[in-house]
C-alpha cells in the first residue's frame, strides 16, 4: 500500500506544532480558536497516513469532535465579549461562557463525560500517531484551562477530576486491546492532573509532563515490540526479553507504584489535596487509581509472569535478531523509572 510522502508528513507535523504555538502565544479568544483550528486541520492527514478503513473512521470521529469543541470555544469567547466587552482570555468569566468553554475543553481533552471518542479513535490509529494524539494534542487545551482556572468553581474541577479517574479505571477493566487500555489510562491521568489545578497549576503541569514521559515510553515500547493486544504481549518475552522487562517496570510506573516516577506525581497531588483538607477527593482519586492498577497488573501478568518454557498463553513466535538501537526509547525508559530517586536535584528548580 502507498505511504505518505515524508516531506508532506513533516510539513503537516510542523503545522500541528505551529497551531499549538499560536495558542500559547495568543492573548485573544479568536486567535486561540485559530491555533486550535490549524492544529486540528493539519493533524487530519497524520491520522489517515496509514491508509486503511479504521484510520479513516478514527479521523472522522476525531474531526467531528474537535470541530464541535473549537466552535463551542469560539461561541463562548463571543458571548463573553458580548457581556464583558473584552476578548482577553485572562479576564474573569461569567457562568454561561464559562460553561461553553469548559464543555469545549472537556471535549478536546477527553475529560468525562466527553471521553467516549478517545478509545475508538486511539484504536484506529497506529501507535506512533496515537502517541502524538495522547501527548502533544493535550497541550493546547491544557494551556487554555490553566489560563481560565481562576474563574472555574473548585468543586466542579475536582469532581471532574475524580470522575475521570473512576471512568478511566472502570473503562479499562474489560479491554484487551493495548490502545484502548492506553486511552483509558490517559483519561485517568488527565483526571488526576485537572483535580489539582485549582490548588497548584504548577503541580498540574508537572504531573502532565510526568504522564507524557511515561506514556511516550509505553507507546514507543509497544511499537518496538509490535504488540497490539494482550495476546501478542505474552509473546514478546521470547524475542526481546530485556525490553519486555523494562516495559513491565514502566507499566508499574504508570500505575503509580513507588519508587518509580509515576508515584512522584500522585504523591505530590495527594499531599497538596491533603494540605487543602480535601480528603473525599483524595479517597476517590486513590480508589480510581486502584481500579486502573488492576489492568496494569494484568499487563504485568501477561508480559512476564508467564514465561516459556513454562505454560504460555499463546503460541511461540519466530525469534528474529533484535532491531537497531533505539536511543529515544532508552532515554525515555530511564526518565520514566529513575526520576523519582533523583527528584531532590531537579524538583526545586521547577517550582
CA distance 9 to 214: 25
CA distance 34 to 15: 12
13 binds another protein (CB under 8 A): no
253 binds another protein (CB under 8 A): no
Report, in Å, the least distance between residue 218 CB and another protein.
Answer: 20
124 binds another protein (CB under 8 A): yes
Long-range contacts of 17-21, Cβ-Cβ distance < 8 Å, separation of 24 or more: 17/136, 18/42, 19/140, 20/136, 20/139, 20/140
Cβ proximity to another protein: between 81 and 335 the closer is 81
Which of the ranges 117-125, 240-248, 258-266, 325-333 carries the binding residues for another protein, by CB under 8 A? Answer: 117-125
118 binds another protein (CB under 8 A): no
Cα angle, residue 250 at apex, residues 186 and 124 outer, rounded to 5°: 40
Of 115, 180, 189, 298, the one binding another protein (CB under 8 A) is 180
State phi, psi for 148 to the nearest 5 degrees. -100, 15
81 binds another protein (CB under 8 A): yes
Cβ proximity to another protein: between 104 and 252 the closer is 104
Report, in Å, the least distance between residue 179 CB and another protein.
Answer: 10
Report, in Å, the least distance between residue 78 CB and another protein.
Answer: 5
Q: Are 253 and 320 in contact (CB under 8 A)?
A: no
3-state secondary structure of 199: coil
CA distance 174 to 181: 9
State phi, psi for 259 to the nearest 5 degrees. -95, 35
Report, in Å, the least distance between residue 2 CB and another protein.
Answer: 4
74 binds another protein (CB under 8 A): yes
How many residues at the interface with another protein, by CB under 8 A? Answer: 51
Of 84, 120, 147, 201, the one binding another protein (CB under 8 A) is 120
114 binds another protein (CB under 8 A): no
Which of the ranges 83-91, 192-200, 288-296, 301-309 carries the binding residues for another protein, by CB under 8 A? Answer: 83-91
Burial of 272 (0-12, 13-18, 19+ CB in 10 A): middle
Sites for another protein among residues 51-70 (CB under 8 A): 51, 53-54, 56-61, 63-64, 67-68
Three cell numbers written together for 311: 505454560
Sites for another protein among residues 135-174 (CB under 8 A): 174
Q: Other C-beta atoms within 10 Å of 53: how many?
A: 8
Of all helices (H) and strands (E), which one includes residue 22? helix 6-25
Sites for another protein among residues 22-51 (CB under 8 A): 30, 33-34, 37-38, 40-42, 44-45, 48-49, 51
Listed in sequence order, the DSSP H helices in 88-177 are 95-109, 117-123, 127-134, 139-147, 154-171
CA distance 211 to 269: 13
> What is the binding site for another protein (CB under 8 A)?
1-2, 4, 8, 11-12, 15, 30, 33-34, 37-38, 40-42, 44-45, 48-49, 51, 53-54, 56-61, 63-64, 67-68, 71-72, 74-75, 78-79, 81-83, 85, 87, 119-121, 123-124, 174-175, 180
Amino acid at each position: 500500500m502507498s505511504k505518505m510522502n515524508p516531506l508532506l508528513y513533516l510539513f503537516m507535523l510542523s503545522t500541528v506544532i505551529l497551531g499549538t504555538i499560536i495558542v500559547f502565544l495568543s492573548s485573544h479568544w479568536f486567535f486561540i480558536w485559530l491555533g486550535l483550528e490549524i492544529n486540528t486541520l493539519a493533524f487530519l492527514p497524520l491520522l489517515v497516513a496509514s491508509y486503511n478503513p479504521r484510520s479513516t473512521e478514527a479521523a472522522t470521529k476525531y474531526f467531528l469532535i474537535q470541530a464541535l469543541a473549537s466552535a463551542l470555544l469560539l461561541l463562548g469567547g463571543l458571548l463573553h465579549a458580548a457581556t464583558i466587552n473584552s476578548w482577553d482570555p485572562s479576564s474573569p468569566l461569567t457562568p454561561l461562557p464559562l460553561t461553553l468553554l469548559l464543555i469545549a475543553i472537556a471535549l478536546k481533552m477527553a475529560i468525562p463525560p466527553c471521553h467516549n471518542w478517545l478509545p475508538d479513535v486511539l484504536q484506529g490509529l497506529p501507535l506512533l500517531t496515537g502517541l502524538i494524539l495522547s501527548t502533544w494534542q493535550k497541550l493546547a487545551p491544557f494551556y487554555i484551562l490553566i489560563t481560565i482556572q481562576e474563574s472555574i468553581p473548585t468543586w466542579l474541577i475536582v469532581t471532574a477530576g475524580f470522575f475521570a479517574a473512576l471512568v478511566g479505571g472502570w473503562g479499562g477493566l474489560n479491554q484487551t486491546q493495548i490502545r484502548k487500555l492506553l486511552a483509558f489510562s490517559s483519561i485517568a491521568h488527565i483526571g488526576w492532573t485537572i483535580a489539582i489545578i485549582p490548588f497548584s497549576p504548577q503541580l498540574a503541569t508537572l504531573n502532565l509532563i510526568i504522564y507524557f514521559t511515561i506514556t511516550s515510553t509505553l507507546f514507543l515500547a509497544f511499537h518496538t515490540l509490535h504488540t497490539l493486544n494482550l495476546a501478542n504481549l505474552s509473546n514478546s518475552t521470547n524475542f526481546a526479553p530485556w525490553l519486555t522487562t523494562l516495559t513491565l517496570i514502566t507499566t508499574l510506573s504508570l500505575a503509580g507504584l513507588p519508587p518509580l516516577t509515576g508515584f512522584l506525581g500522585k504523591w505530590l497531588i495527594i499531599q497538596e489535596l491533603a494540605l487543602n483538607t480535601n480528603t473525599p477527593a483524595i479517597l476517590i482519586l486513590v480508589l480510581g487509581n486502584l481500579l486502573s492498577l488492576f489492568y496494569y497488573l494484568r499487563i504485568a501478568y501477561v508480559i512476564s509472569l508467564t514465561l516459556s518454557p513454562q505454560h504460555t498463553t499463546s503460541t511461540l513466535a519466530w525469534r528474529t535478531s533484535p532491531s537497531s538501537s533505539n536511543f529515544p526509547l532508552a532515554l525515555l525508559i530511564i526518565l520514566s523509572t529513575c526520576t523519582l530517586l533523583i527528584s531532590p536535584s531537579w524538583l526545586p528548580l521547577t517550582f
